[in-house]
Structure 1
Amino acid sequence: MSPTWYLFLAIILFAIGASTVLTRRSAVLSLMGVEIMLSSANLVFITFGRLQGSAHGQVIAFFIMVVAAAEVVVGLAIIVSIFRARGTTSVDDVDLLKN
């Protein structure tokens, strides 16, 4: 299979993730959009690593997955604390720093 198809899939995944982040008002859905964008970046790194015949793309993708897991843990902890304080996970209603 041609690498062009993998890159095309990565572009589609990144566009879906970016549109999710920009259009949804729920913080949980925004985090899911960010995860989709990170997965598309992983696909690009692995594709180019395979084209060059090295494992560097897979190593970088592994570190991206570790950072994404940490981002999910911290993000969900923040969302849960905001939900307990405000009762909503809407991004528009969060203004905790203004008080």
Structure 2
Amino acid sequence: MHLSPEVPLVWYLLLSAVLFCLGVVGFLIKRNLITVFMSIELMLNAVNLSFVTFAHQWHDVKGQIFVFFVMVVAAAEAAVGLAIIIAVFRARATLAVDRIDLMKL
């Protein structure tokens, strides 16, 4: 029995592009701060998928190392971002992006 061939590089890049576009659309259209935050995370993960794809294609570890650093920054951003979102919700009692005006406390 012959196993199916490797998944082509183009499929990974297409998936990465679709995920990135979904993240951009979510960032631009949604008005909930949590959804905007998740869209940014989706865009970061789409870029990570591209880095890993090219690193595997070129048999180079540098792309995977860069993905590790992006994931560390994304984890720190998630912790700080969620803390800011909680602080905004406590101060404004809403997570609607167009209703939040932090300059007027």
Report the TM-score when normalising by structure 1: 0.96
Task: Please report the RMSD computed on the Cα atoms of aligned residues, expressed in angstroms.
Answer: 0.9
Q: Which has the higher helix share?
A: 1
> Percent identity of the aligned residues?
45
Q: How many residues align?
A: 99
1:66 is aligned with what amino acid? V
Cα displacement (A) at 1:98: 3.4
Larger gyration radius, structure 1 or structure 2: 2
1:88 is aligned with what amino acid? T
1:56-85 alpha-carbon deviations (Å, 9 max, x no partner): 111111111111111111111111011111
Runs of 4+ in 1 over 2 A off after TM superposition: none
Cα displacement (A) at 1:51: 1.2
Is the partner of 2:41 in helix, strand or coil? Answer: helix
Q: Equivalent residue for 2:33?
A: 27
2:56 is aligned with what amino acid? R
Question: Which of 30, 35, 51 in structure 1 is aligned with 2:57?
Answer: 51
1:26 is aligned with what amino acid? N
Report the TM-score when normalising by structure 2: 0.90
Consecutive unaligned residues of structure 2, counting only runs of 5 or more, are 1-6
Question: Which of 37, 40, 46 in structure 2 is aligned with 1:40?
Answer: 46
Superposed, which structure 2 residues align to 1:71-86 within 5 Å?
71-86=77-92
1:48 is aligned with what amino acid? F
